[in-house]
Amino acid sequence: MKIGFIGLGNMGGPMAANLAKAGHEVTGFDMAPVEIEGVALAASGAEAAAGKDVVVTMLPNGQILRAVANEIVPAMDKGAAFVDCSTVDVESARAVAEQAVAAGLLPVDAPVSGGVGGASGGTLTFMAGGSAEAFAKVDPLFDIMGQKAVHCGDSGAGQAAKICNNMILGITMIGTCEAFALADKLGLDRQKMFDVVSTSSGYSWTMNAYCPAPGVGPASPADNDYQPGFAAELMLKDLRLSQQAAEAADADTPMGQAATDLYTQFVENEDGLGMDFSAMLPRFEKRGRS
């Protein structure tokens, strides 16, 4: 396929490189100067998108996505697929999808899970929203960039799945960190705590695969001085998106709101900026009951 790729940062760059390695003709564009092996660089987003079978975007937020869509949708050929892999608000995803459909394009919102390591290794998980026709056209590309792609429903469903997943992740990480901090104060050895919880009803991904306690469980950012990983400010972004969606849908999410408030405090008023989201553990270690 001829593929345009807009947004060649820490995630988009490796994804575009993997498409090029697989033999696709990839033309990329980014606001920052970049060099991606196998990827030809265009002078603008519109130039990268023109004449392509598929255009993929990986962008910071919904506002930027809308601006990029305004530039590239008129430049794209009818019948081409527009795949947005950014994590944005559901409203922006659906608005851009409507714009693309009106122009005769096949939109897919397909946010990812797996982080920079997954982007580099081609092991991302894609949560896709859009028509069956659109998903079928781009599914072979998901197989190159990732290990799993789930068609979640109509436009916006991919973003909804990502937001709900990461709300669970943020809530669960806080609970895991609180439990380790409590175990410390009760004199319980962290390894013993892990041995019990990881095989009991407290089992979770944050405990078993991404343990926030250094030296316990499989290697994680906790073993690298909490360097991300998945940065706390990115978790905060996703939690805020979850609460924005919850407000729009009139959904009661008190735990999601509590997690949002805690990560806001951690990132904006404490030392969480630039740290992994599991660095909540040393935060709780230092605190007493208020």
What are the tens digits of pLDDT across the range 222-234?
999 999 989 999 9
Residue 214: its pLDDT value, please? 98
| Euclidean distance between CA atoms 274 and 284, whole angstroms | 17
Structure tokens at 86: 């950014």
| Euclidean distance between CA atoms 227 and 279, whole angstroms | 9
| Euclidean distance between CA atoms 268 and 233, whole angstroms | 9
Residue 229: its pLDDT value, please? 86
Q: 27 and 36 in contact (C-beta within 8 Å)?
A: no
How far is Cα of residue 254 from the mean position of the Cα atoms in its chain? 22
The reply to whether 2 belongs to the active site is no
Q: Which helix (H) or strand (E) holds 96?
A: helix 90-102
Which of 162, 185, 237, 286 is the catalytic position? Answer: 162
Q: What one-letter code names the amino acid at 2?
A: K
User: Which of helix, strand or coil describes residue 24?
Assistant: coil
Residue 81: its pLDDT value, please? 98
Q: Which helix (H) or strand (E) holds 254?
A: helix 254-264
Q: Is the pTM of this model over 0.85?
A: yes
> All domains of the chain, ordered by start, with CATH?
2-154 (3.40.50.720), 161-286 (1.10.1040.10)
Q: Which residue, among 253, 260, 252, has the nearest Cα to 277 in the 3D structure?
A: 260
**Residue carrying structure tokens 């997954």:** 118
What lies within 8 Å, CB to CB, of 261 at 6+ separation is none
Backbone φ, ψ for residue 113 (5° rounding): -130, 140
How far is Cα of residue 130 from the mean position of the Cα atoms in its chain? 18
Question: Could you list the mean pLDDT of each consecutive 10-residue stretch along the chain, which spans 290 residues?
Answer: 96 97 98 94 97 97 97 97 96 96 98 91 96 97 97 96 96 98 97 98 96 97 95 96 96 98 98 97 91
The 10s digit of each residue's pLDDT in 112-129 is 998 888 999 999 999 999
Kindly give the pairing relationship between strand 54-57 and strand 81-84: parallel
Q: 278 and 210 in contact (C-beta within 8 Å)?
A: yes
Separation of first and last alpha carbons in the chain: 58
Q: Which residue, among 274, 248, 281, 246, has the nearest Cα to 260 in the 3D structure?
A: 246
